[in-house]
Amino acid sequence: MTQPPVRYNRDTDIALICIENPPVNAIGQAVRAGLMDCLDRFADDAAARIAVIYCAGRTFVAGADIKEFGKPPSAPFLPDVIGKIEALEKPVLCVMHGTALGGGLELALGAHYRLGLPGLRVGLPETSLGILPGAGGTQRLPRLVGMDAALDIITSARHLPAQEALDLGILDELAPVGADPAAAGRVMAQALLDRGAGPRRVCDPPAPRIGADQLADIRARTQARYKGQIAQLTAIDAAVEGAAMPFHDGMRHERALFTKLMQSPQRAALIHAFLAERKVVQLPELAGVRARDFGQIGVVGGGRMGSGIAVASLLAGLDVTMIERDAQSAMLARENVAQTLGESVKRGKLTDEARTHILAQQFRAAESYSALASCDLIIEAVFEDMDIKRDVFTQLDRHCKSGAILATNTSYLDIPQIAAMTARPADVLGLHFFSPAHIMRLLEIVVPETTAPDVVATGFAFGKKLGKVSVRAGVCDGFIGNRILQVYRAASDHMVLAGASPYEVDRAVTEFGFPMGPYAVQDLAGLDIGFMTRQRKAASRDPREFVARWADVMHARGWHGRKTGQGYYTYDTDSPKGRPAADVEAIIAAERLEHGITPRAFSADEIIARYMAAMVNEAARVVGEGIAARPLDVDVTLLHGYGFPRWRGGAMHWADTQGLRELLAQIETYAGEAPYFWQEAPLLRQLAQENRSFADLNT
């Protein structure tokens, strides 16, 4: 018989209410109902003088059950459960370990006393899921910590360490290191009984108010930081407007705003992103496959990418041996790594002592492949040239131990060809990091057909250890992300040729929610990079493909983007973020003239419609060809590597909200103008005809 998710026991006069709902003790309907029963039992149990609520397993309650969102709500509701705890005439103590998040922290705020275990993190991350703390969080937290601190916690969605929670008064006490939730709860409960402590309700004192100027300032800052999102401002409304009402009216107001957000497309998109990030590593091919050991990492090449990969590995506690071509380059590589680690010190992520320790104990730079002999996983990050890669992989194959995994960080070279350069193609795969590699969370794990399953599993285990979001990608030019990027960039060029300005495109795209538009991004990456890509592809390009020649003209003038102070934008001391460059429009106009094109106007809506249609169409091709395992893999890639606005969920989720039939019809219209570019993806056509969505493929 399965155990109920909430259990009631009594130890002399202390009632112990234990929640056990693996993996993270989310409060679903069964937990809410179980809590209601246990609270009734406690109220009726004359021998019980105090109750301790705690959790079994790795964490306290990590929140309401996200998987229930979007379904019809079922009683009992969480605010009622928490209200019942708060109203009890006998004291209730909540003991938290692991994480107490969202509805979990709100549950604890309804208790009369709160104890934290060391290592606890608390927070109200609901706004990051497009909702607000709808179980009293916006009403109780301000009463406990003040309005300013509460608004910061609610809008930032951040996780507070236990000490900060104690300092703010969210916790009454912190248990000693090594304490167990039930035992620590019993000790504190006994102490409360000994001093005759009764119920102490957070809802009793009046809510703090905030001045109009301060509120306006907080709202303006929040709006700027969470551009386009509605949950943060709505949560501020719930807290501030609720504070002007009696507690129970404030609770009703919070509920009304919560319900509104729960129905919003932003909530659906953000929950999709959350679940997709977890599902992306769940691949049937890896079920039951054990990863190999990877304690010792080798990195070939100490440039920006190699150093970033080394630092990401070092920060994850792994040992790293980096090799460079000679002693001087090895010394420079060491300096690069030391400097990159120094950035982590500046950002407060690492102490200076820890940095010194890491450099002395975990890292070494060498100039010979033999230094990699004991490494388990070696990642090559050298120049993108097949001859250079051949030399590297031949050497790696010769010097690395049997069973060692050889990975390439190439962005576009043919990985099966690289694997075939070795006598161990089953041990070779692509680990495509994004720059700066110690900061960007995306890792594309590129899997040629020859790669052994345990090598793929090791790639995923390594990504997890580094805190990356790892996505499986098949072999093609650009893998998932860069392949799609090439196409929506090309769609922008088509629009610019037809009359839109690059600045109109960038503006529309940033208003849609991307941090930068495609032309500003090209300036950042360097227009020389784009030039090299065009050169590389020239030989295999279909003559029907349109390639913007204005980009070559700009490159020939030495305009390489930010690094030269001139690209699509001019960067100088007056405008460090760039202003439209004087001649760009004229260079583009000359090309239109050559094509006999009379420029026409594009609205921001049309720009986005075409930009997104191109993105979705290519993404559908990528899924249809099996390059991405599922549509959600594309979404996660675009969210973490390409600045896709999280609150829109990713290109495939967005496409579903628009309707695939509508998108297909749009593409058919565009194909009238540029049939080669706007060929519809077979998968998009199929799903549209069958009236299905991309989400149907996210199994």
How many Cα neighbours within 13 Å face the side chain of 574?
4
Residues catalogued as catalytic:
106, 126
The CB-of-101 to ligand TC6 minimum distance in angstroms stands at: 4
Whether 502 contacts 568, CB under 8 Å: yes
Nearer to ligand TC6, 59 or 307 (CB): 59
**Exposed, middle or buried by CB within 10 Å (0-12, 13-18, 19+), for 73?**
exposed
The CB-of-228 to ligand TC6 minimum distance in angstroms stands at: 20
Q: CA separation (Å) from 346 to 163, 218, 318, 698?
A: 22, 27, 21, 41
The CB-of-4 to ligand TC6 minimum distance in angstroms stands at: 18
Long-range contacts of the stretch 490-495 (C-beta < 8 A, 24+): 490/545, 490/546, 490/614, 490/677, 491/610, 491/611, 491/613, 491/614, 491/615, 491/677, 492/518, 492/519, 492/611, 493/546, 493/547, 493/548, 494/546, 494/610, 494/674, 494/677, 495/602, 495/607, 495/610, 495/611
DSSP assignment string, 652-668: HHHHHHH-HHHHHHHHH
Name residue, tokens 């679903």. Answer: 28
Both tokens assigned to 642: 């390409």
Nearer to ligand TC6, 23 or 596 (CB): 23
Q: State the sign of the Cα–Cα–Cα–Cα dihedral 154, 158, 159, 160.
A: negative
Whether 515 contacts 649, CB under 8 Å: no
Nearer to ligand TC6, 80 or 662 (CB): 80
Cβ atoms within 10 Å, residue 414: 15
To the nearest 10 degrees (0 to 180), the angle between helices 231-243 and 212-225 is 160
The CB-of-300 to ligand TC6 minimum distance in angstroms stands at: 31
Per residue, what are the HEC states of 119-137? CCEEECHHHHHCCCCCCCH
The CB-of-136 to ligand TC6 minimum distance in angstroms stands at: 9
Both tokens assigned to 142: 């301000």
Nearer to ligand TC6, 23 or 543 (CB): 23
Nearer to ligand TC6, 159 or 304 (CB): 159
Nearer to ligand TC6, 41 or 158 (CB): 158
Nearer to ligand TC6, 275 or 371 (CB): 275
Q: CA separation (Å) from 207 to 88, 243, 245, 584?
A: 21, 5, 9, 57
The CB-of-161 to ligand TC6 minimum distance in angstroms stands at: 13
- Residues forming the site for ligand TC6 (CB under 6 A): 23-24, 26, 59, 62-67, 78, 99, 101-103, 125-126, 129, 133-135, 275, 278
> Which residues does 639 contact at the CB level (< 8 Å), separation at least 6?
273, 277, 646, 650
Both tokens assigned to 632: 């959600």
The CB-of-275 to ligand TC6 minimum distance in angstroms stands at: 6
Residue 64 DSSP one-character state: B
The CB-of-452 to ligand TC6 minimum distance in angstroms stands at: 25
Both tokens assigned to 49: 């003088």
